[in-house]
């Protein structure tokens, strides 16, 4: 167990390191228009908390899921050998838990995605306000900035509250099914003992292994929901990592055959990719001669 945990821990550190390197390299390779659409706070949140959330997949979730899966399979085989009717009853309980686990995991994945987005938005508001605190102080907009920050925290609280309630329902279903299985096992086993088909020793073994199987199923479900949370948090990370780099960085460019130092613009039109409906330049015609310094100034500065 210690060797397995150590190996998973090392793999986890390597995963997080490589993921952050690849994500940072992908961000730096994007066109300038990309940074008009994405905020600094959101990107730093992806590099920080989102990558750390994904690290739980190998370091904790897959480790515990694999261990409890092997334990559960061993307990199930022994239960079926000991008494197949009671074993099938326990399998029915585990099947019900597995169904609830899949529904709960799907919800946690979706909720975790929203939670990470709200966290990134809150971080972005805080970073903007703190980095421009002198401007905020000059215009006296401290209350407005606080309201912006509190708005995202309220949304994050709402999602976290629903996640907690869903986890409470998952734990409640485990306790109900676990104790129900114990009651059914004792009743059926007691009748079998009275009829001489079962011994008290066998019933004790069955109760212990049934508890082991159900708890293993619960641990798998608990770590499965955590795994789905990590998957939901990593969607934006992997989307950013899959972005193609800017052609400006990948293109080798062209070698100028002749350089005169004279530049001429003819009918140039320009607008930011993030705001295509707001043109900046319209049919600009301009000639720049050698040794000239020219500035293009609009009324906005």
DSSP 167-228: HHHHHHHHHHHHHHHHHHHHHHHHHHHHTTSS-HHHHHHHHHHHHHHHHHHHHHHHHHHHHH
**Res 30 pLDDT > 60:** yes
Residue 30 structure tokens? 């994007």
Residue 232, both tokens: 């939901």
In angstroms, the Cα distances linking 142 to 54, 139, 191 are 35, 9, 73
CA 53/CA 116 separation, integer angstroms: 10
Average pLDDT of the residues of the chain: 81
Q: How confident is the model at residue 187 (pLDDT cuts 50, 70, 90)?
A: confident
How far apart are the C-alpha atoms of 144 and 157, rounded to whole Å?
A: 20
Residue 102 neighbours by CB under 8 Å, 6+ apart: 224
Please answer whether residues 120 and 42 qualify as being in contact, where contact means their C-beta atoms are separated by less than 8 angstroms: yes
pLDDT exceeds 60 at position 175: yes
Express each pLDDT in 232-274 by its tens digit: 777 778 888 888 877 766 667 677 777 777 888 888 888 777 6
| Closest of 42, 57, 246, 35 to residue 128, by C-alpha | 42
Alpha carbon distance, N-terminus to C-terminus of the chain: 65
CA 171/CA 71 separation, integer angstroms: 20
Q: What pLDDT, on the 0 to 100 scale, is given for residue 150?
A: 94
CA 45 distance to own-chain centroid: 12
Residue 4 has pLDDT above 80, yes or no: no
- H runs (alpha helix) in 40-141: 40-45, 51-54, 56, 62-82, 84-131, 133-139
User: How much of the chain, in percent, has pLDDT values that exceed 70?
Assistant: 94
Handedness of CA 19, 23, 29, 30 (dihedral sign): positive
CATH class of 2-247: mainly alpha
Residue 19 tokens read as 């993921």
Q: Would you say the pTM of this structure is higher than 0.75?
A: no
Residue 1's nearest CA partner among 87, 67, 59, 55 is: 67
Domain ranges of the chain: 2-247
Say if residues 46 and 240 touch (Cβ distance below 8 Å): yes
36-45, 55-64, 100-109, 131-140: least confidently modelled range: 55-64
CA distance 67 to 4: 10
């Amino acid at each position: 167990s210690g060797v397995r945990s150590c190996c998973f821990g090392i793999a986890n550190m390597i995963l997080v390191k490589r993921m952050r390197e690849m994500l940072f390299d992908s961000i730096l390779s994007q066109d300038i228009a990309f940074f008009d659409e994405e905020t600094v706070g959101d990107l730093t949140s992806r590099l920080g908390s989102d990558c750390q959330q994904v690290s739980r997949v190998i370091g904790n979730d897959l480790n515990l899921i694999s261990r409890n899966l092997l334990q559960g399979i061993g307990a199930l085989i022994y239960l079926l050998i000991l008494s197949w009717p009671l074993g099938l009853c326990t399998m029915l309980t585990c099947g019900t838990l597995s169904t609830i686990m899949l529904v709960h995991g799907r919800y946690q994945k979706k909720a975790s995605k929203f939670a990470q987005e709200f966290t990134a938005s809150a971080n972005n508001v805080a970073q903007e306000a703190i980095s421009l605190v002198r401007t905020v102080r000059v215009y006296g907009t401290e209350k407005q900035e606080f309201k912006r920050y509190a708005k995202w925290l309220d949304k994050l609280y709402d999602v976290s509250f629903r996640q907690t309630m869903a986890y409470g329902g998952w734990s409640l279903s485990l306790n109900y099914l676990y104790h129900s299985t114990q009651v059914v096992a004792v009743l059926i086993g007691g009748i079998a003992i009275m009829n001489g088909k079962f011994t008290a020793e066998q019933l004790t073994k069955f109760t212990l292994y049934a508890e082991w199987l159900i708890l293993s199923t619960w641990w798998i479900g608990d770590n499965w929901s955590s795994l789905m949370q990590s998957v939901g948090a990593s969607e934006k990370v992997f989307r950013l990592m899959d972005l193609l780099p800017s052609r400006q960085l990948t293109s080798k460019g062209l070698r100028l055959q002749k350089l005169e130092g004279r530049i001429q613009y003819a009918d140039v039109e320009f607008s930011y990719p993030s705001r295509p409906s707001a043109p900046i330049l319209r049919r600009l015609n301009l000639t720049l001669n050698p040794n000239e310094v020219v500035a293009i100034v609009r009324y906005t500065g």
